[in-house]
Structure 1
Amino acid sequence: MSDNDDIPFNRNFLLKPSVTEEVVPGVRRVLCDNPSPFTFTGTVSYIVGRGKVAIIDPGPDSEAHAKALLDAVRGETVTHIFVTHTHKDHSSNTARIKAATGAPVYAEGPHRASRPYYDSETMSTESGADRDFRPDIEVRDGDMIEGEGWRLESVATPGHTANHMAFAWPERGVNFVGDHVMGWSTTIVSPPDGSMVDYMNSLHKLAQRAEQLYFSGHGPQIPDATRFVRFLIRHRQAREASILHRLAKGEADIQTLVRAIYIGLDPRLSAAAGYSVLAHLEDLVARGLVLTDGDPVIGGRYRLDHDDFGSN
């Protein structure tokens, strides 16, 4: 969603909706036909294994996509369903796939915010959150889930959502990273649903892991993944520096910061950019570098704490 040239994005993704593609041995993918400025060409679901298989992220509420997934595994048995996080474009089709296959659903847990709502905020009615989702089996960081010919490790990666979970296949050097890392764009971090502190910690965590091929919830696979994650970390650090640079010129609201920082931004993404800026500001306020009157919220005004900033 950014105008940055510092990240080697790859927007070359030719997979067509409802077509099953084996991208590496033991991993197939199927694209849902739900393109948008937020989903790129659509949500990608993955099939792991052969014969007795797992489906990762069944996608949005779509009979057509459910049919494509079930057609892809015709003659096979779905033994596990994994959900990386509870945004509707990833989890809403879970009930359909479970009803058709009887497979148990594995995920971190129900949807929740990354922090309590401030008194000055109204409870979000965000259309993207799947508040009805409940897994059959709640997984924790480091849990190993085994199937026939595969073994996935749950890797807690909060940030995009509080319950975001990646699923690594260490023996294959592969990680199914959901929306935490995407090859086509930066990830939206929108408080209170998301948290920039959590997001950055999760990036650093992934950078320490051995897997070098990522399969994302949108767009193409990401090779040389550790290097790409380091690009993302540097990008977020640069975004923070840009916010501080603009605030050094004087107090500003979030839309002023967006206009100053996101040059050439698609207007459809300006609200999302504002929430990503808010996520950075929450962190900066907590660290004492930035001040605001009251809680750090989307409608607030922000200024530098010159005493603390000058000493850092």
Structure 2
Amino acid sequence: MAPPFDLADLPTGVAMPLSPMVARVLAPNPSPFTFTGTQTYVVGSSDVAVIDPGPDEADHLTALTAAIAGRPVVAIVCTHTHRDHSPAAQPLRAMTGAPVVGCAPLTLDDDGPRADAAFDAAYRPDRILADGERLAGEGWTLEAVATPGHTSNHLCFALVEEQALFTGDHVMGWSTSVISPPDGDMADYMRSMQRLLERQDIIYYPAHGEPIDNPQRLVRGMIGHRKQREGQILRFLERNGDSLIPDMVAEMYKGVDPRLHPAAGRSVLAHLIDLHQRGLVMTADDLWQMR
């Protein structure tokens, strides 16, 4: 899927100021699943936190070193442990001496459609943050907000002083998040989305895509989108009886880049598991039908 703008307008390896306390550095890993690439955020002024350090690539680590510019690093913070988010934590810790804090470690065998989304088996946090726990530097405070769904260990981080939320992959600025079982859970995701809807954040900084300056509107739209998708699945099963997921994807994702269909199938499976747990559908031999 081609971005709707020239990638040259979003240069990798450059610290782009977004607010008095926030700069982002775009990693050189664009793909159909990462959009223009993974965005690492440097938060603070006299001392800093680095959020989602990204892939372990030499050019990206050099760019992060330049963005840190010799300032003390209070913490290297990870929203979750997919390979486009956390692998640079270990070399950055070695370079800066900063602890790795944030989400819990999680490693699963992943035979899903996203090579970039396999779990980072080398992730070793020095401190795991529970929901509501905080870390702070001079003039800034980050608070962990538990948002399971995309992954079971996913955390967002609120920058208290700016009413901003770093949303990782839970809410992205260009697409909905893939929910891929067995770890991805649609019911958890919907509960996490409802939780964000009830917050008072005024801007989101996602790991992929542009900042979101009317976040409640976007979250309402994403909740509505998931409910519409659930309705599509139920109507498909009512019309067709016993059905396979690829047949559902072929109809429901017409016009979507075919490279994304396997990932779409994972989200359809997540919906079906949720519907099964609610007693609305049943399954046998990979076929799904209304209960």
Q: TM-score range by the shorter chain?
A: over 0.9
Once the two structures are TM-superposed, the CA of residue 112 in structure 1 deviates from its matched residue by 4.8
Q: 1:268 aligns with which of 239, 259, 263?
A: 259
Structure 2 counterparts to residues 245-264 of structure 1, below 5 A = 245-249=235-239, 250-264=241-255
SS class of match (1:76): coil
Structure 2 counterparts to residues 38-53 of structure 1, below 5 A = 38-53=33-48
Partner of 2:161: 171
Structure 2 counterparts to residues 52-63 of structure 1, below 5 A = 52-63=47-58
Q: Is the 8 A contact 2:39 2:207 kept in 1?
A: yes
Q: Is the 8 A contact 2:110 2:119 kept in 1?
A: no
Once the two structures are TM-superposed, the CA of residue 72 in structure 1 deviates from its matched residue by 1.0
Distance 1:79 1:63 in 2: 22
- 1:205 aligns to 2:195 (yes or no): yes
Distance 2:70 2:248 in 1: 54
- 1:22 aligns to 2:12 (yes or no): no
Once the two structures are TM-superposed, the CA of residue 35 in structure 1 deviates from its matched residue by 0.4
TM-score by length of 2: 0.94
Partner of 1:124: 110
Once the two structures are TM-superposed, the CA of residue 129 in structure 1 deviates from its matched residue by 1.1
Partner of 1:7: none
SS class of match (2:136): strand
Distance 1:169 1:197 in 2: 26
- 1:286 aligns to 2:272 (yes or no): no
Q: 1:192 aligns with which of 182, 190, 215?
A: 182
Q: CA RMSD in A?
A: 1.5
Deviations 1:107-153 (A, max 9, x none): 2210156xxxxxxxxx5356421122121001000001111110011
Distance 2:260 2:142 in 1: 34
- 1:154 aligns to 2:108 (yes or no): no
Q: Is the 8 A contact 1:108 1:164 kept in 2?
A: yes
- 1:215 aligns to 2:210 (yes or no): no
Distance 1:137 1:59 in 2: 18
Distance 1:277 1:71 in 2: 42
Give the number of equivalent residue pairs: 283
Which piece of structure 1 moves more, 268-277 or 12-21? 12-21
Once the two structures are TM-superposed, the CA of residue 283 in structure 1 deviates from its matched residue by 0.2
- Segments of 5+ residues of structure 1 without an aligned counterpart are 2-9, 114-122, 295-299, 306-312
Q: Is the 8 A contact 2:179 2:266 kept in 1?
A: yes
Distance 2:10 2:91 in 1: 23
- Segments of 5+ residues of structure 2 without an aligned counterpart are none
Q: Is the 8 A contact 1:11 1:219 kept in 2?
A: no
Once the two structures are TM-superposed, the CA of residue 90 in structure 1 deviates from its matched residue by 0.3
Once the two structures are TM-superposed, the CA of residue 15 in structure 1 deviates from its matched residue by 2.1
Q: 1:32 aligns with which of 21, 27, 30?
A: 27
Once the two structures are TM-superposed, the CA of residue 287 in structure 1 deviates from its matched residue by 0.5
TM-score by length of 1: 0.88
Distance 2:161 2:188 in 1: 27
Identity %: 48
Q: Is the 8 A contact 1:112 1:162 kept in 2?
A: no
- 1:180 aligns to 2:175 (yes or no): no
Q: 1:134 aligns with which of 115, 120, 124?
A: 124
Distance 1:238 1:184 in 2: 19
Q: Is the 8 A contact 2:140 2:160 kept in 1?
A: no
Q: Is the 8 A contact 2:107 2:120 kept in 1?
A: no
Distance 1:224 1:232 in 2: 13
Distance 2:255 2:227 in 1: 20
- 1:110 aligns to 2:113 (yes or no): no
